Amino acid sequence: MKSAVIVFPASNCDRDAAVALKQMTGNAPHMVWHQEKDLPDVDLVVLPGGFSYGDYLRSGAMASQSAVMRAVKTHADKGGAVLGICNGFQVLTESHLLPGALMRNAELKFVCRPVTMTVEETQNVFTRKYSSGQNVTFPVAHGDGNYVADDETLDRLEGEGRVVFRYTPGHNPNGSARNIAGILSEKRNVLGLMPHPERVVDPLLGGTDGRALFESLIETLS
């Protein structure tokens, strides 16, 4: 599997994503600067966590207007896989590659802690190596992770099996509607989630629950 990690100014989980990809796939990903107009020939594009452009406007809003995002949209339109983690998820909603928006956490504070989620959908390139209904623990680290969308959109996401990760009751760290932690695009090739799978691929760092996400991608895209 060939992959690329997009680097916006003040992305800060770009290295973490690259380390996880290297560890899981054996190949270092291409690191692609936000001003690039074209993507290298890759199977997977990762939009990493961080504070792109300082997130001084709405989180992800500036990044969604960057040159590279036009190329990412083209990649997604052609069915290429796109994984947006944390700030990457925010960029995906701001770019309308995923519906809804990510608002300030309900408690109005940044929150960093491991959270437990249920993997609700496994019929996609990102989670096929998990079992449906499995509980996994990934860390969150964000201030704006409160997923909101209108009821119609939420009903549709649930009806179409596009809610991939849902916080288990009592573990919703940010007030997200219907405990949603991660969602798929209509064509199921774009996944955005607030928790960090790339931080749980090494047992020393608090768990390996994120490995199956990368293994799913490798199995499908290689």
Which are the catalytic amino acids? 86, 196, 198
| Minimum gap (Å) between residue 136 Cβ and other proteins | 16
Q: Which is nearer to other proteins, 16 or 43 (CB)?
A: 16
Q: Which of 111, 148, 177, 221 is in the footprint of other proteins by CB under 8 A?
A: 111
Q: Which of 27, 38, 40, 54 is in the footprint of other proteins by CB under 8 A?
A: 54
The yes or no reply on residue 209 touching other proteins (CB under 8 A) is no
| Minimum gap (Å) between residue 184 Cβ and other proteins | 25
The yes or no reply on residue 206 touching other proteins (CB under 8 A) is yes
Partnered with residue 118 across adjacent β-strands are 135, 166
The yes or no reply on residue 110 touching other proteins (CB under 8 A) is yes
Q: Which of 1, 4, 29, 49 is in the footprint of other proteins by CB under 8 A?
A: 49
The yes or no reply on residue 74 touching other proteins (CB under 8 A) is no
Express the helix, strand and coil content of the chain in percent, nearest 5 each: 30, 25, 45
Sheet-wide strand order for 180-184: 30-33, 3-7, 44-47, 81-85, 190-193, 180-184, 163-167, 111-119, 135-142
**DSSP letter for each residue of 111-176:** EEEEEEEEE---SSTTTTTSPTT-EEEEEEEES--EEE--HHHHHHHHHTT-EEEEEPTT--SS--
Q: Which of 10, 31, 61, 103 is in the footprint of other proteins by CB under 8 A?
A: 10
The yes or no reply on residue 112 touching other proteins (CB under 8 A) is yes
Q: Which is nearer to other proteins, 56 or 187 (CB)?
A: 56
Do residues 29 and 46 make contact, with C-beta atoms less than 8 angstroms apart?
A: yes
**Contacts (CB under 8 A) with other proteins, residues 165-204:** 196, 198-199, 202, 204
**Angle CA(2)–CA(7)–CA(8) in degrees, nearest 5?**
150
Stretch binding other proteins (CB under 8 A), from 71-79, 139-147, 186-194, 213-221 = 139-147
| Minimum gap (Å) between residue 73 Cβ and other proteins | 24
Q: What are the angstrom distances between the C-alpha of 142 and each of 115, 157, 176?
A: 12, 23, 13
For residue 206 the two structure tokens come to: 């608090």
- Which residue ranges make up the site for other proteins (CB under 8 A)? 9-10, 12-13, 15-16, 19-20, 49-51, 53-56, 109-113, 139, 141, 143, 196, 198-199, 202, 204-206
